Structure 1
Amino acid sequence: MKKSLMAATVIATGTLLGAAGTANAAELNLICSADVVICELLVETFEANHDIDVSMVRLSSGEAYAKLRAEARNPKTDIWWGGTGDPHLQAATDGLTMEYKSPMLAELHPWAVKQAESSGYKTVGVYSGALGWGYNTDILKKKGAKAPKCWADLLDPALKGEIQVANPNSSGTAYTALATLVQLMGEDEAFAYLKKLNDNVAQYTKSGSAPVKAAARGETGVGIVFMHDAVSQAVEGFPVAVVAPCEGTGYEIGSMSIVNRARNADEAKVWYDWVLKPETQSLLKDAKSFQLPSNKNAAVPKEAPNLDEVKLIDYDFATYGSTERRRALLERWDREIGAIAN
């Protein structure tokens, strides 16, 4: 009986010590707005090399911004990694994120540093990629549809019900597409184009990469996405061809921001500096991530789209990442496109 009592005491004491150890462990609350495979690889590698427990939630860029805004008075998130730069810039403008100048800035490409400078160092570029689409070659062949090489080609009646694109309210990818078309065509012309495109759209997804994953599975013909997301499906062996629009296209600067008044700001800075290192960014290819890394010394995946061969527009990140412009475009999309969406 005494042995049983002693055993129970040891177990109880061990449980209490374990609970105390957990309570005293360094913690980090992370929002990750990239593909979940990338998010998990980063978290696992970080935890293996740091005495910090990471609690990660995967959210699209629009969802992440909405979460930070909802938590503004009592932040539960410490750092936001990945996703398009526009909502990161909006969060900076709205005072939701804090200034931090990483010692790694000197190693980054000019476009990543410019992202930091334009936000008052409240965000920074972590990767870049151009907008385009991926199409299922088998589906288009069966339908007798021509391969779409330009934005105008997506209006072909042969593609009716064969296009997927995300909702720009939840997806940074889709907001980049919206802002790109506005900058290419002018706002009224862009919305006239989107109304015509709606005739061919089967679904507006929540996630930005979902459309090309559906195309890879044979569920739709074309997915409007960032080109690297289409490349990842092609590399997996799916019959997906990757397109950079002939008229020109926008691009993203995937970004990272520390939340203003974060509970674990010191741990957030450890993560921030770590993910900007070349050896960390070189890991992303292992998760089939084919974006261009922001550190000049990081390894660029050989499959990554060559942006020198893509006709890029002079994307105005400051304007289209501003609270006023972004809100106005999304409200107009809701009125004129979302209201008639199939």
Structure 2
Amino acid sequence: MKKFGLVSSAVLMMAGATAASADEISVVCSAEQDWCDLMVAAFEAENTDTDVLMVRKSTGETLAQIRAEAGNPKIDVWWGGTGDPHLIAAEEGLTQASGVDTSDLLGWAQNMATISEGKAIGIYAGALAMAYNSEILDEKDIAPPACWADLEDPRFVGEIQVANPNSSGTAYTELATFVQLFGEDEAYTKLAAIGQNVNSYTKSGSAPSKAAARGETGVSIGFMHDMVNLAAQGFPLVAVAPCEGTGYEVGAVSVIEGARNFEGAKAWVEFALRADIQSRAPETGSYQVPSNSNAEVAPESPDLASIKLIDYDFATYGSSETRARLLARWDSDVGDPNPQQ
């Protein structure tokens, strides 16, 4: 039975209840579902004797699961999602070095491996941005945002949707970006002001832009490649690189410490870093910039060189201590009045 796109968390837990065989890999994917499915299908097509048990979870949920299962992991490899939680898992000894060759990767991807001592390797990059539904803002005669500061304006009351940084790597990247751009105290002041205009905090980082595309909210915060994908599908969504500058993610892949199928997990990492495999991401509408220097970059992919990117400090904001402190202050100073279970 082929499991990609169909496997549930319960199936993955059942698979982990018994010792994994050499021809079975348990993967948690933190990218978009279609891309997860493509990766599983492509891997199984090349490795016909191997079954991939895959489930999609956000980075925050995955980090929590890995922590809970430390010493008796049900997962072999974690693929996709923002790099900060991957670095935290590496710091806490929850992942291990795969020993794969990274010489074909771009500098920012190799930097991820260097910071984590080979435990987390960069697979793609994407810039944080704002997006707005042009039809909604035109109908309500609301001037679109150009800067982060615009989102504090009362004209956007009830119009903004963003994810919760406790569950979403995208939203944690936003939190860390604000702290690096504005300083910690001002960052929380701004986030609290924006929070007065937020109609909902979602679990998933890509959910707000999907909601904006469907006309369920006027403005979203997320990654630009997700916004570009939605616009390419015909939705009236316009992506904006904030005038003050913005942060970015380096998505990562990590092998879990104590993985029951280390060789299979290593094979997955090698597969995920290949140029031909990374070049297939646009087939699923995934327009991140690939990490392999020989991979094809889709014309729809945002040009990172044209965006005012901050010098994002992955070492600092990918540490357990920093993340815990920032999230605790977010809960107290900003908070989600209606947290999703």
The question of a shared fold, defined as TM-score above 0.5 by the shorter chain, is answered with yes
Helix, strand or coil: the match of 2:280? helix
What is the letter of the counterpart of residue 64 of structure 1? T
Cα distance in structure 2, aligned partners of 1:156 and 1:136: 17
| Larger CA deviation: 23-32 vs 161-170 | 23-32
Which residue number corresponds to residue 12 of structure 1?
A: none
Contact 1:278 1:299 survives alignment (8 Å): yes
Contact 2:157 2:197 survives alignment (8 Å): yes
Helix, strand or coil: the match of 1:238? coil
Point out where structure 2 has 5 or more consecutive residues left out of the alignment: 1-19
Contact 2:201 2:336 survives alignment (8 Å): no
- Measured after TM superposition, the shift of residue 100 of structure 1 is 2.0
Taking the TM superposition and a 5 Å limit, the aligned residue runs for 1:216-295 are 216-295=213-292
Give the count of matched residue pairs.
Answer: 319
Match of 1:84 among 82, 85, 88: 82
Contact 2:164 2:336 survives alignment (8 Å): no
What is the letter of the counterpart of residue 242 of structure 1? A
Helix, strand or coil: the match of 2:208? helix
Cα distance in structure 1, aligned partners of 2:227 and 2:186: 27
- Measured after TM superposition, the shift of residue 287 of structure 1 is 0.4
Match of 1:146 among 143, 146, 151: 143
Cα distance in structure 2, aligned partners of 1:281 and 1:253: 14
Cα distance in structure 2, aligned partners of 1:63 and 1:232: 24
Which residue number corresponds to residue 68 of structure 2?
A: 70
1:271-313 CA-to-partner distances (Å, cap 9, x unmatched) read 1001100000001010000000000000101001101110000
Contact 2:158 2:197 survives alignment (8 Å): yes
Helix, strand or coil: the match of 1:318? helix
Cα distance in structure 1, aligned partners of 2:55 and 2:327: 25
Which residue number corresponds to residue 16 of structure 1?
A: none
Taking the TM superposition and a 5 Å limit, the aligned residue runs for 1:27-106 are 27-50=24-47, 51-103=49-101, 105-106=102-103
Cα distance in structure 2, aligned partners of 1:319 and 1:24: 38
User: What's the C-alpha RMSD, in Å, of the aligned pairs?
Assistant: 1.2
Using the size of structure 2 for normalisation, the TM-score is 0.92
Identity of aligned residues (%): 56
1:138-184 CA-to-partner distances (Å, cap 9, x unmatched) read 00001111110100111121111010000001000000000000000
- Measured after TM superposition, the shift of residue 187 of structure 1 is 0.6
1:341/1:157 Cα in 2 relative to 1: closer, same or farther (>3 Å)? farther
- Measured after TM superposition, the shift of residue 222 of structure 1 is 0.7
Which residue number corresponds to residue 324 of structure 2?
A: 327
- Measured after TM superposition, the shift of residue 189 of structure 1 is 0.4
Structure 1 runs (4+) greater than 2 angstroms displaced? 339-342
Helix, strand or coil: the match of 1:195? helix
Match of 2:200 among 200, 203, 209: 203
Indicate the structure with greater helix content: 1
Helix, strand or coil: the match of 2:287? coil
Which residue number corresponds to residue 183 of structure 1?
A: 180
What is the letter of the counterpart of residue 156 of structure 2? L
Helix, strand or coil: the match of 1:165? strand
Contact 2:22 2:264 survives alignment (8 Å): no
| Larger CA deviation: 331-340 vs 288-297 | 331-340
Given the alignment of the two structures, is residue 160 of structure 1 paired with residue 193 of structure 2, yes or no?
no
Cα distance in structure 1, aligned partners of 2:190 and 2:83: 24
Using the size of structure 1 for normalisation, the TM-score is 0.92
Given the alignment of the two structures, is residue 131 of structure 1 paired with residue 131 of structure 2, yes or no?
no
What is the letter of the counterpart of residue 77 of structure 1? I
